[in-house]
């Protein structure tokens, strides 16, 4: 099976890039399934019903979240009606679930959403939780396991790889919005520290540069805005899993505005 994973979609510019390119990319890369992170999709903070329907209509099959999952209160109802998950290590009483299970090409597949500790909201220990969750899935005979690790610290993502590379199919980092150049396949597990945003590439992590610059110069914050027009980027990991849930091929796809795509193969 061939799957596409898109990191943080940031506002309207990110949604427009998917509108322009995703259906064609699904065909060109023979994708059976597409996963994307929604937590910044609605003007940079959370997800509305309108934008959820919009993104699913562009060819996304399931969406993962992060520390902004609950910024739009309507997300609570969307968890019941849409293929959306949030980090599983939010408190158990939180709305939504952290696992999405489906069948792709005749195989049971589990998509897991996890959030790190550093600079993040108070959540349960992601490392002890994920260990038991993965063990439970494997006991059920599920071999195709994909994790969105939403975390600020690269070390947390690296540790997760070393813990789980023999037990899961893929670990993809999200949250920092800055794509890293370390896509690899480790013992049959696809990994990248951060996929990088889909949205504006000429501001500060997808946002207009004015507020971040003022904050660093004066210590005063403000409301973050997303420009109406900007230079944009789409970033996606395309990976192939065999019948045993091991990754046998992976590549990074980048599109700058309307330019031809750039494809970079994973290290092995």
From the list 92, 42, 98, 93, the residue with the least C-alpha distance to 65 is 98
Q: Are strands 184-186 and 199-200 parallel, antiparallel or unpaired?
A: unpaired
| Residues annotated catalytic, as ranges | 68
Local structure of 186: helix, strand or coil: strand
Spell out the residues 6+ positions from residue 174 whose beta carbon is closer than 8 angstroms to its own. 7, 8, 37, 64, 66, 148, 149, 150, 194, 195
Cβ proximity of 44 and 207 under 8 Å? yes
Q: What is the DSSP letter of 111?
A: E
Spell out the residues 6+ positions from residue 228 whose beta carbon is closer than 8 angstroms to its own. 12
CA distance 233 to 254: 7
From the list 40, 17, 28, the residue with the least C-alpha distance to 175 is 40
Residue where the block lists tokens 């199919």 = 169
**Order of strands, sheet of 189-192, starting from the edge strand that comes earlier in the sequence:** 99-104, 107-115, 144-150, 170-174, 189-192, 184-186
């Amino acid at each position: 099976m061939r799957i596409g994973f898109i990191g943080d979609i940031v506002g309207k510019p990110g949604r427009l890039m998917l509108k322009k390119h995703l259906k064609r990319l699904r065909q060109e890369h023979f994708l059976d399934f597409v996963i994307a992170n929604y937590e910044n999709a609605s003007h940079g903070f959370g997800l509305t019903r309108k934008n959820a329907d919009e993104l699913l209509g562009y060819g996304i099959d399931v969406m993962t979240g992060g520390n902004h999952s609950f910024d739009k209160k309507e997300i609570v109802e969307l968890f019941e009606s849409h293929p959306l998950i949030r980090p599983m290590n939010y408190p158990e009483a939180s709305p939504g679930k952290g696992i999405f299970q489906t069948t792709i090409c005749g195989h049971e597949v589990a998509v897991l959403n996890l959030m790190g500790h550093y600079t993040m909201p108070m959540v349960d220990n992601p490392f002890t939780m994920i260990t038991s969750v993965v063990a439970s899935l494997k006991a059920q005979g599920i071999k195709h396991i994909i994790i969105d690790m939403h975390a600020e610290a690269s070390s947390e993502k690296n540790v997760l790889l070393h813990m789980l590379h023999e037990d899961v199919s893929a670990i993809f980092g999200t949250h920092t919005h800055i794509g890293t150049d370390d896509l690899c396949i480790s013992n049959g597990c696809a990994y990248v520290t951060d996929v990088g945003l889909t949205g504006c590439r000429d501001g500060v992590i997808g946002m207009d540069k004015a507020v971040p610059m003022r904050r660093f110069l004066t210590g005063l914050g403000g409301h973050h805005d997303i420009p109406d027009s900007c230079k944009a980027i789409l970033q996606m990991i395309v990976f192939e899993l065999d019948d045993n849930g091991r990754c046998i091929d992976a590549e990074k796809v980048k599109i700058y505005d309307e330019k031809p795509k750039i494809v970079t193969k994973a290290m092995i």
